[in-house]
Chains A and B, each alone.
Chain A
């Protein structure tokens, strides 16, 4: 079944429930007329909330970036900080190995 059909089914089910409420007048009609608006507003709130939570909890990896940048970007800092910060040994090792075998890995 195409996914749009599933979503349409959900929408139809909700609409049917709403029409049912209107017909039977279990709750006051005035109130029932407003339900779709509440529904759309709460859908929007859900979206915003999820985006907000996602933004706040956005996983970052500054260490990883630092390791890469030290070697690939900041040659100047690299020389300066060599003795202070742990470098990504992986990449240094790779460059040594490849240079020994005459593979061009750039100047830094």
Chain B
């Protein structure tokens, strides 16, 4: 295990859009919580007008351009393609995907890595729905929708994972490459499609509890159109996986 720890490298892909105020904090905290781990941070910025990229360049001066990679894209092109874009530049054998807005705290990263090493899992996914995890900033309506969506998905899809739409995950790089190429959905459904396809392909998936503090700098978004998209995604997964 010790030996494996030495040669593993983790590429942390963080898609950003207008995260000027958060990205430096996230980067600092990643470095703080992974002191003895070989990793790189790949920031995929979709042309933020707020100067996110300037901050990232400052961070590169502090930490080195080999640890912080800025792989910008000209405009907002969607989350799924952001991961694919970041993945192209990843040199690690493991890839971590997380949000830049501090709703995912980097202090959970060691538990992802530990879980992967203990179990040899291909995917470790953060779950908000077990003991030790949790959510903050959701009103009753949001909780109700989330629960309804979850029960529906579990009844219909039998995915074997408690948190389908979470986006704080660790993947073996080859597994992410394999799964992501067959995913076409967007938004919430994209995360669900990734984990369901991985589960169908027989990859070992383990979970660790995480907390999720919703959108510190923004308002949460879950309207009627998202629900329709979710239901469409559910049907799509039913007939294609």
Say if the beta carbon of A102 comes within 8 Å of chain B: yes
**Which residues of A are found within 8 Å of B227, using beta-carbon distances?**
none
Which residues of chain B in 16-54 are interfacial with respect to chain A, using CB atoms and an 8 Å cutoff?
Answer: 20-21, 24-25, 28-29, 32, 54
A101 to B25, CA, bound (A): 13
Say if the beta carbon of A47 comes within 8 Å of chain B: yes
Q: How far is the CB of B128 from chain A (nearest CB, A)?
A: 7
- The number of residues on chain B lying at the interface, defined by a beta carbon within 8 Å of a beta carbon of chain A, is 49
Which residues of chain A in 82-108 are interfacial with respect to chain B, using CB atoms and an 8 Å cutoff?
Answer: 90-91, 93-95, 97-98, 101-106
Which residues of chain A in 37-92 are interfacial with respect to chain B, using CB atoms and an 8 Å cutoff?
Answer: 46-47, 50-51, 54-55, 58-62, 64-65, 68-69, 72-73, 90-91
- The number of residues on chain A lying at the interface, defined by a beta carbon within 8 Å of a beta carbon of chain B, is 34
Check B28–A64 contact: CB distance below 8 A.
no
Known: A59-B133, A65-B136. A97 touches B151 (CB 8 A): no
Q: How far is the CB of A58 from chain B (nearest CB, A)?
A: 5
Check A68–B216 contact: CB distance below 8 A.
yes
Say if the beta carbon of A4 comes within 8 Å of chain B: yes
A2 to B104, CA, bound (A): 33
A72 to B137, CA, bound (A): 14
Q: How far is the CB of B223 from chain A (nearest CB, A)?
A: 20
Q: Which of A47, A59, A65, A106 has the most CB of B within 10 A?
A: A59
Partner of B237 from A3, A47, A64, A102 at Cβ < 8 Å: A3
Which residues of chain B in 150-182 are interfacial with respect to chain A, using CB atoms and an 8 Å cutoff?
Answer: 150-152, 155-158
Say if the beta carbon of B97 comes within 8 Å of chain A: no
**Which residues of B are found within 8 Å of A3, using beta-carbon distances?**
156-158, 200, 237-239, 241
Check B136–A55 contact: CB distance below 8 A.
no
Check A59–B216 contact: CB distance below 8 A.
no
Check A104–B24 contact: CB distance below 8 A.
yes
A69 to B241, CA, bound (A): 41
Q: Which of A61, A94, A102, A105 has the most CB of B within 10 A?
A: A61
**Which residues of A are found within 8 Å of B29, using beta-carbon distances?**
90-91, 94
User: Could you list 15 further interchain pairs (A-B, Cβ under 8 angstroms) beyond the known A94-B25, A98-B24?
Assistant: A3-B156, A3-B158, A7-B238, A51-B147, A54-B129, A59-B133, A59-B135, A61-B212, A64-B136, A90-B107, A93-B28, A101-B62, A103-B55, A103-B58, A104-B58
Interface residue ranges, A against B (CB under 8 Å): 2-4, 7, 46-47, 50-51, 54-55, 58-62, 64-65, 68-69, 72-73, 90-91, 93-95, 97-98, 101-106
13 contacts between A and B (CB under 8 A): A4-B239, A54-B150, A59-B129, A59-B135, A60-B135, A61-B135, A61-B136, A65-B136, A68-B216, A72-B217, A94-B32, A98-B28, A104-B20
